[in-house]
Structure 1
């Protein structure tokens, strides 16, 4: 197996660590293998879109989700480091409103599988970071929603270094008790 998969405290959310082959020339690893992903992470899914973002230190992107056409996301960092966070928005889940966070970086090469039904976001802890993610559905701006990144009812413990830089839509995110959920 070319990946090690670890379950998190949120059902369905998984940390994926690839087997890295390195020597004096550099390194090689499979960043995605459909057969292994289906067998060890989430069977029966198809990725339809790849996204790439670059952000500077202190940028917080999220907490995004689509209320219709929910996206599963396979996320990773190829340059720099982020603190990546998911929040369970599945009303019938025993972990509804709970969050999980971890550092993803170019150095640790970890990936995170975020199933549909979760809000997702990240905070850049390095000077800059390039973030890649595959999605299981297309982006529909009319269905995008944002959970307020610092909702005290959720209580995400962001490793902030000052006031984060936010997009207007992220600063205006809704509270868990008021937003549409799954």
Structure 2
């Protein structure tokens, strides 16, 4: 497994495994504590695993957590997704940068997203399973959502959004969220 720093988002990393393929399919390691540790992260910090299944065009996000935030490892375990990270840490050298990735079940690449960054994705295939590993238990009272189509962010979503939650549809723009978080 190889770790690569994401230059557009300070403290973010891509973890690229080496799948072993044969006539049966493939095998690969998707989490390696030693590799996580090698980039200065604590592999034992991750306390919850979750998975979502989406159909083509479904858009989830942009989500982040208030308070201490939430660091996460995100991987598309089946299908393909267009993944987005927005750095919203005021003290970060990449503050307000947007980075996009295509994560696929074929490569099993994992993206580490530091706490304080917003995250969202769109399913590009008929079925897309996305796995999350987060560093603290989820508390819905800390959920923050930003409009996926905020013009300031200008995220180049590859497909029309065919479906999203009501919370995501009604999300405020970035400026409103940042103003509220400053309080």
What TM-score does the superposition give when structure 2 sets the normalisation length?
A: 0.91
Deviations 1:135-158 (A, max 9, x none): 001111011000111111111111
Q: Does 2:174 align with 1:176?
A: yes
Aligned partner of 1:125 in structure 2 is 124
Q: Does residue 81 of structure 2 align to residue 89 of structure 1?
A: no
- What SS does structure 1 have at the residue aligned with 2:167? helix
**Structure 1 spans left out of the alignment, 5+ residues:** none
Which consecutive aligned stretches of 4+ in structure 1 deviate over 4 angstroms post-superposition? none
The residue aligned with 2:50 is 51
- Match for residue 37 of structure 1? 36
Q: How does 1:11-160 map to 2 (within 5 A)?
A: 11-40=10-39, 42-43=41-42, 46-160=45-159
Give the C-alpha shift of residue 4 in structure 1: 1.1
**Is the 8 Å Cα contact of residues 83 and 104 (structure 1) preserved in structure 2?**
yes
CA distance in 1: counterparts of 2:71 and 2:25, whole angstroms:
31
Structure 1 residues 133 and 163: alpha-carbon distance in aligned structure 2, compared to 1, 3 A threshold: closer
**1:69 Cα deviation from its structure 2 partner:** 4.2
Contact residue 59 and residue 161 of structure 2 kept, 8 A:
no
* C-alpha RMSD over aligned residues: 1.6
Question: Normalising by structure 1, what TM-score?
Answer: 0.91
Count of aligned residue pairs for this structure pair: 179
Question: Structure 1 41/171 Cα, relative in aligned 2: closer, same or farther at 3 Å?
Answer: farther
**Aligned equivalent of 1:6:** 4
CA distance in 2, matches of 1:138, 1:77: 21
2: CA distance, partners of 1:25 / 1:15 = 27
Q: Distance in 2 between matches of 1:29 and 1:6?
A: 18
Structure 2 unaligned residues grouped into runs of 5+: none
